[in-house]
Amino acid sequence: MDTAVHPVDAKLPFLRQFAFGLQHVLIMYTGCVTVPLVFGAAVGLDRDTIAMLISADLLIAGLITVIQSLGVGKLVGVRLPIICGATFAGLTPMILIANQYGLQAVYGSMLVGGIVGLALAWPFAKIVRFFPPLVTGAVLTVVGISLIGVAGGLIVGNDVSSPDFASPTSIMLAGVVIAVAVGFLCLGRGIWSQLGVLIALLAGTALAFPLGMIDVGGVSEAAWLGFPAPFHFGAPEFPITAVVAMSIVMAVVFAESTASMLALSEITGRRLGKADIARGLAGDGLSAVLGGIFNAFVDTVFNQNVGAVATTRVHSRYVTATSGVILLVLGALPKASSVVAALPQPVIGGVGLILFATVALVGIETLRKVDMSDRINSTIAAVAVGVGLLPEFAEGLFEHFPSAAQIILGSGITLAAITAFSLNLLFNHTRLGTSARAAVRHDTPVPSPESSSRTGVANEPAHI
């Protein structure tokens, strides 16, 4: 009887497990805290309130990461090496709700959206068969390519009017980080290869010190201990428009998380059933419920960490559970989180460039499992990737559309998911696709005996 432990369920020695867990945290930290930073600035919150949002964000992200990694019975948690954090999908609608209805409505609608998500987790999981490699591969390709723009923004900056924009020093620092990471990932052996990303982060930070690119001023001002109070902004409110908007956000998050969980299934070799997917989606819903109570944000699977799992080939869910504990500590210790926040953005961007591109390669590898000689499949993949990348290359494409429409149309990842899912459903699960393929076979000329003998294949339809 084979008693071998699956890599997903393997426990590593404490120091290695902690090191890999810390590596995950360093990879996702900037992306996680960016959401509260942007939200706070957009709605005019003061520095102390934004700091509270960051602590709440880290605490909920840590808790959901632990739950997703270890599971809670048969109720919540997919039990995969998952890192969760605040999703950008909810950022725009939250800002719009805050400006129109106030912060009490933001967190009231998030709370209800989370309850809706919990209720829909199991029904949503039943349509997983409509997310084959054709759909998930196209979505993951768009995810990876879209995130490369985020890495570029971290390296060169996002304010073109700033004197530091596209600074050669920042670009050089990112280049060194990439070179160190490539050296360890490609030439290192064993633990040295697996920790290549963390080593590159540490090397880039060390180089940034003499360059004056690390600001530790906020560390001394941060408190040692702090916890967010429930309903900090007052009793929650539930405007119907806001509730509908946040419920739509949950559907979008479900689509993103499903694709990410299926990608991790491919990477780790751990097969997922409907119950596993449902427990994972329930984790997303729970994050919104807790976020609504403790002034945090809706969490989803962080794809940069999916890339890290693929790059390091460390598949243990106990590693990501350790990451969750670290996030909980950072959330409870504002001074500790401010130390991590001091990492220079070009350093994070250099590492992110590799990890995000890895996600795109996972998507391409997934698409290789699809019969692309079938013109319908190839068309679906091409259209989904093209439509998904359009908002990334045509900034402001949908800015004149209604706010509710921008929730969906403004995210290239969401557009790719909707496009791939809809076209796959139309052409691969209805008679329309069957009829189209039959017409192709009917119209394809049968090779003559002479041409068949030349190709070595008799009566084989021509490649389309």
**Are residues 291 and 305 in contact, defined by beta-carbon separation less than 8 angstroms?**
no
* Average pLDDT score over residue span 219-236: 80
H helical segments located in 126-231 = 133-156, 168-187, 191-194, 196-208, 217-221
Whole-structure pTM value: 0.69
pLDDT digits (tens, 9 = 90+) for 64-74: 999 999 999 88
Residue whose C-alpha is closest to residue 370's, from 358, 382, 359, 360 = 382
Which two tokens mark 239? 């405007």
- For residue 64, being part of any structural domain is answered with yes
- For residue 404, being part of any structural domain is answered with yes
* Domain total in the chain: 1
In whole angstroms, give the CA distance from residue 258 to residue 132.
11
- For residue 85, being part of any structural domain is answered with yes
Which two tokens mark 262? 């299926």
Say if residue 298's pLDDT is above 80: yes
- For residue 4, being part of any structural domain is answered with no
Residue whose C-alpha is closest to residue 427's, from 378, 387, 393 = 378
- For residue 450, being part of any structural domain is answered with no
H helical segments located in 2-130 = 14-42, 47-70, 91-101, 103-125
Domain that residue 375 falls in: 10-441
- For residue 459, being part of any structural domain is answered with no
Report which residue type is found at 428.
N
In whole angstroms, give the CA distance from residue 62 to residue 75.
18
- For residue 111, being part of any structural domain is answered with yes
Report which residue type is found at 152.
G
Kindly report the backbone phi and psi dihedral angles of residue 458, in degrees, each rounded to the nearest multiple of 5, phi listed first.
Answer: -95, 135
Say if residue 140's pLDDT is above 90: no
Q: What is the mean pLDDT of the chain?
A: 83
Position 464 confidence tier, pLDDT thresholds 50, 70, 90: very low
pLDDT digits (tens, 9 = 90+) for 308-350: 888 888 899 999 999 999 999 888 887 766 666 667 878 878 8
- For residue 322, being part of any structural domain is answered with yes
Residue whose C-alpha is closest to residue 90's, from 293, 277, 252, 199 = 252
Buried b / exposed e over 391-411, threshold 16 CB at 10 Å, is: bbeeeeebeeeebeebbbbbb
**Are residues 147 and 345 in contact, defined by beta-carbon separation less than 8 angstroms?**
no
* Average pLDDT score over residue span 22-35: 80
